[in-house]
Amino acid sequence: MLQSLSWISLDRVARQSEAFFYLNGTYPEDADQLAAGYQGEVPLDPWGRSYRLVTRGGKLLVTGSDGRGQPIQNLILTRYLAWEAGDERVEWSAGPGVVLIP
């Protein structure tokens, strides 16, 4: 049951990370950076811990853990990074659609 609730939160963290990218031009390096740059509340896992954010190989990974803090293979959400879209996924060219200038 708690893992099901965690999936909803994983998706929310991934969406917040994408919004962070569109506002700041980079993805957050971790949940603390996401929380500092995001005006809303960043969800925690059912055990009160932050989700782990990783950008690797053109993908954003948001991972969860079990009650003991151990990673769970079933709680890994993967999304393509906005500027690293693969051919199989989109029909527009890869690259940033908007470059934000502070």
Q: Rounded to an integer, what distance in angstroms lies between the CA atom of residue 16 and that of residue 42?
A: 8
Given a cut of 60, whether residue 89 has pLDDT beyond it is no
Mean pLDDT for the stretch of residues 16-27: 88
pLDDT tens track for 50-63: 889 988 888 899 98
The encoded tokens of residue 94 equal 């890869």
| Claim: this prediction has a pTM higher than 0.85 | no
Q: Rounded to an integer, what distance in angstroms lies between the CA atom of residue 34 and that of residue 44?
A: 12
Q: Which fold has domain 2-80?
A: Glycoprotein, Type 4 Pilin (3.30.700)
